[in-house]
Structure 1
Amino acid sequence: MSEVVMQSGQIMVGAHKGIYVIKLVGDVRLNLCASFDDFIDSMFTHEDFTDVVFDLHGTQGVDSTTLGLMAKIAIRALERGCQKPLALSADAGIRHLLDAMGFDALIEVSDERRDYGAETRPLQCTAPDECAAREKVLEAHRVLMSMNQHNADTFRDLVHTLERGCTPVAKPSTRMH
């Protein structure tokens, strides 16, 4: 029996003529990568933004937080009046995952390989503090829950747990008595 070795994940990003390419490589787990969410916010501030493409040809695995951020991108693009983002993947498992999560309502999926002329560069990930990481994971899962009832049922307990997990610490009063 051969053992499958998952390549550590990496996110590559680039843009060409208003088309933003997000390439997920290896086993992408984003619960500690606040940089991707920052990139998403920055991407939508560019006036030349016209479309987004997810290149998943090199993706071996993707966690639910990553899926939630992909959904966030698709929703924001559609709200901006863009066409559905495109996800490129020939992997049956990745395509099944997208279908099972209800992404057909948000993105088009193709097994084609396309060159968009975008030079991609690795996104430098920074590990946020525990509370900030939890907030990013929570937001991503809320987006997934908003997509359909199946996702709402699947992630409800996780979201409730995360909501209870990080409460701001009350600062002591500096008032003099």
Structure 2
Amino acid sequence: MSSGKIQYAEANGAFILKFIGDVRLTLCSALDKKLEAILGHDGIESVIIDLSDAQCIDSTSLGLLARLSLQSRSLLGFVPTILSTNEDINRVLITMGFDQVFVIVTEAEEGRDPVVLHDLPCCEESTDQDVMDKVLCAHKTLMDMNDRNRLEFEDLVQQLEKGRKAS
């Protein structure tokens, strides 16, 4: 599996995030920072998360995306769109309840004007505690989405909270 990266662009009031390869925890600080920028940006009318070139996406990244959707709805008044053509990723999205907080598109549109994408830096400087806080927040967001996620992530969240108190 190829290492992952995230690219981004802004065009015509739309903010685009494209996940490529195996997107993991190592990108969470940079992703979180970019998501905060999206939510604080004037003039954003839509957010598109393109997972069509993603091979895998971890639960921390999914939790950050879930938080983006929930905050987009309440702060900006719209529901973001996920484009995902990978059946395995689609199954995870549906199982985790992402169809309740995103518009999910499973077929790519042909003939769209290409957008110049920029690489999100892969390594933002952050402490282990900062990363743990982002992981904890992301998983709490997933837990709050539905009962299935609560059962799935409850033990992990408890362990992360114990680790946080110990440090």
Asked if 1 retains the 8 angstrom alpha-carbon contact of 2:39 and 2:76, the reply is: no
Do the aligned partners of residues 144 and 133 (structure 1) sit closer, same or farther apart at CA in structure 2, a change above 3 Å counting?
same
TM-score by length of 1: 0.86
Residues 67-106 of structure 1: pairs in structure 2 closer than 5 A: 67-106=62-101
Partner of 1:174: none
Root-mean-square deviation (CA, aligned residues, Å) is 1.7
For structure 2, the residue ranges without an aligned partner over 5 or more in a row are none
Q: Structure 1 unaligned segments of length 5 or more: list them.
A: 1-5, 170-177
Distance 1:24 1:79 in 2: 24
Asked if 2 retains the 8 angstrom alpha-carbon contact of 1:31 and 1:137, the reply is no
Helix, strand or coil: the match of 1:90? coil
Contact 2:13 2:46 in 1 (8 A): yes
Where 2:52 maps in the other structure, the secondary structure is coil
- Structure 2 CA distance, aligned partners of 1:61 and 1:8? 10
- SS of the residue 1:33 aligns to: helix
Q: Are 1:155 and 2:150 an aligned pair? A: no
> Normalized against structure 2, the TM-score is what?
0.91
Alignment of 1:80-159 (within 5 A): 80-114=75-109, 115=112, 117-125=114-122, 126-159=124-157
Q: Percent identity?
A: 34
- Does the 8 Å CA contact 1:17/1:48 hold for their aligned counterparts? no
Aligned to 1:172: none
Q: Provide the C-alpha distance between the structure 1 equivalents of 2:73 and 2:115, rounded to a whole number of angstroms.
A: 22
How far the C-alpha of 1:128 sits from its partner, in A, is: 1.9
Letter in 2 for 1:8: S
Q: Are the equivalent residues in 2 in contact too, given 1:51–1:82 (CA < 8 A)?
A: no
Aligned pairs (5 A) from 1:60-71: 60-71=55-66
Shift, 1:83, TM fit? 3.0
Secondary structure in structure 2 of the residue aligned to 1:46: coil
Aligned partner of residue 77 in structure 2, secondary structure: coil
| CA deviation vs aligned residue, 1:49-88 (integer Å, no higher than 9, x gap) | 1110011110000100010011011111111253321111
| 1:58 alignment partner, SS class | strand
Offset of residue 117 of structure 1: 5.0
